[in-house]
Structure 1
Amino acid sequence: MPDADPPGWELPLLLFAGFRTLIDQLHAELAVRGHPDVRPVHGFAMQAVGIHGASASEIGRRLGVSKQAAGKTVDRLTAMGYVERVDDPRDARSKLIRLTPRGLESLRLSAEIFERLRAGWVEQLGADRVRLVESSLRTVIPAVGYPVDVPGWFG
């Protein structure tokens, strides 16, 4: 007799545990590579800032949090040297938050580390299985890009 399917509640927990495992491994490696103070929320916030910069309001919308909550995260990232506030060339009354060289370095290192972590999964599971997981997830996930609003969604 074939094994019964696992209960439905297990799927989201397994997906989250896989996500959490990758993120925890990423941050352990970032700490070793000179970024011990970066937390997952900081990574999402730096993604929300993007390579062209963003206003605090835009960052809040992208993160799914209030402008004030985004401002607190930006304040922390500024104090840590990952972002800076500069005059917005589109609006002299506004400030633009943009990544500093340290912020860009942390994102570059993160991408490099994620490549290595994926390679570890390939080593454990095989390339075909990892590609199958990825393509299967792309099939069931709406094609609206990659959300960075996890802080607001969990909040």
Structure 2
Amino acid sequence: MSRESGEGVTPGYELPLRLLFAFRTVIDELHERIAREGHPDLRPTHGFVFQAIGPHGTTAVELGKRLGVSKQAAGKTVEQLERLGYVERGSDPADARRKVVRLTERGVDCLVRSARIFEELRAEWVAQLGGEEQLRGLEEALRTLAPGDPFRLDTPRWFGAAQ
């Protein structure tokens, strides 16, 4: 299939592929860098899990809801991240019967390093595009095309089978 349909018109299917490729480029580079900084076992899904856990922690049931996966799938991910030292389970101070998943110091360190690396990558994209204005224009266009909360994590079937 040719890359262009008609006279210089890009086929419609290329846009989502380019957006996905841009996402993968940033995330893959983030993971290469964060691995060199002491976090070699992280996978792209883990960042979404860290965001869903949040600064105050959450239960496995709520984590599953936020990610659009079953309690069991969320529990398996928590077990894996617990073995790697990124999360811990503890009692909820408000209700000792509930177990809350929280980020450990290692998990918070990973988020802090990730935030710094994302800023570095953004600066590199600014340089590649020829200035802050060009990247800001791209970001604004994406906000127009994809409005809403960029931290929305409840996309069913993205992280496993929906409940």
Q: Give the TM-score, by structure 1 length.
A: 0.93
- 2:4 equivalent in structure 1: none
Q: Which letter does structure 2 place at the counterpart of 1:142? A: P
Q: 1:154 to 1:71 in 2, by over 3 A?
A: closer
d(CA) in 2 for partners of 1:153, 1:85: 25
Q: Please list the CA deviations of residues 90-136 of structure 1 after superposition, one character each: whole Å capped at 9, or x if unmatched.
A: 22211000000000000000000000000000000021111011011
The percentage of counterpart residues that share the same residue type is: 57
Aligned match of 2:61 in 48, 54, 57? Answer: 57
State the shift of 1:145 in Å: 4.1
1:143 aligns with 2:145: no
User: Once superposed, what is the RMSD of the aligned Cα atoms?
Assistant: 1.7
Alignment of 1:111-130 (within 5 A): 111-125=115-129, 126-130=131-135
Q: After the TM superposition, which segments of 4 or more aligned residues of structure 1 sit over 2 Å from their partners? A: 147-152
State the shift of 1:149 in Å: 4.2
State the shift of 1:30 in Å: 0.6
d(CA) in 1 for partners of 2:150, 2:123: 23
Q: Which letter does structure 2 place at the counterpart of 1:43? A: G
Count of residue correspondences: 154
1:87 aligns with 2:91: yes
